[in-house]
Amino acid sequence: MKCHILLRTKAMLLAVPVLLAGCAIPESNGSSVSVGTPKGAPTAAQSRGLSPAQSRSVRESASLPALRGPQDVPSFVAAASVAPVSKREVVRSAIQASKNNEAIASELITEFNRARKVDFSQALVVLSLIGEQRSSTGTKFLIEFLHQPLPLDGQETSELGLSPEAEAMERLQVKAANGLPYARTAGALQATLEVVAEHPLKPVRVEAASSYLWNAGNTDKARRRLSQYLREDERLLVHRPVRVDGMSPNEFNRQLAVYAERYPELKAPEPTRAHRAIEGEHTFDEPQISPPTDRSNSDSKRQQ
């Protein structure tokens, strides 16, 4: 027994240098250096950076780059992509001022084709800028883009049976359908109505219908014209309320109530108490689960 104790004590003493290997060992000059760490290595301490409030303040105070020609488009798009809501009208005024600059319009299209491959969020912003610019070049591009078929490659993964590539294309076309009627020309409005009638994807048709009404003045005449292009099961879009800037929650709720009265089939069913399965009954929603076995009995039998 005494021999075992001595051997164990000796082993513990031999392990002490190993434990100390990762500790700071004082040098002769009085400094403390970690074993294996070169002198002059940077420390792990880093500044906290900007707080959310400070970051927001920086974005609020940042000025928007000038948009004088096509060479300014990349920097303008980059700034518009991170601009806060308070800068929305500044961005809108700047892009609309370039309406007659077809070179800027062409560069915006080039920027979109680049962004859609590397930065999906920025691609959505560029589509918004193309719509807001209201140029003839941009309008033509949006019409052509809305008629592009969904990509057939890729693996279907979403609940809608779409591949990631097709789902991304759908979202981009929804944004394009929103921006197309902003030009408010007869050609742009008519092209939007054709999207409402012919596009194979419902989200795109719905967005085109909503944007058409908004840009056509949301008048009874516009509703009658839109109803001629809507599918039978989408006629309710003619009267669907849209909450806009400045509209109070009470006013929007009032319009929703009127809309629900006009289309009672949209009302959600009254909530009902869920059916609770009785003992011994088997249902699909509540499958029977075998009761847990008595482990004490099985353990005693195992010991025997």
Answer whether 0.85 is exceeded by the pTM.
no
- The four Cα atoms 79, 80, 83, 84 give a dihedral, to 10 degrees, of 180
User: Can you give the pLDDT at residue 24?
Assistant: 47
- Residue 26 clears pLDDT 60, i.e. is over it: no
Every domain of the chain and the residues it spans: 167-264
Tens of pLDDT, residues 109-148? 999 999 999 999 999 999 999 999 999 999 999 999 999 9
- Residue 18 clears pLDDT 80, i.e. is over it: no
Mean pLDDT of the chain: 82
- The rounded Cα 220 to chain-centroid distance in angstroms is 34
CB count within 10 Å of CB 237 equals: 20
User: What is the C-alpha to C-alpha distance for residues 95 and 115, in angstroms, rounded to an integer?
Assistant: 18
Tens of pLDDT, residues 168-190? 999 999 999 999 999 999 999 99
- Residue 56 clears pLDDT 90, i.e. is over it: no
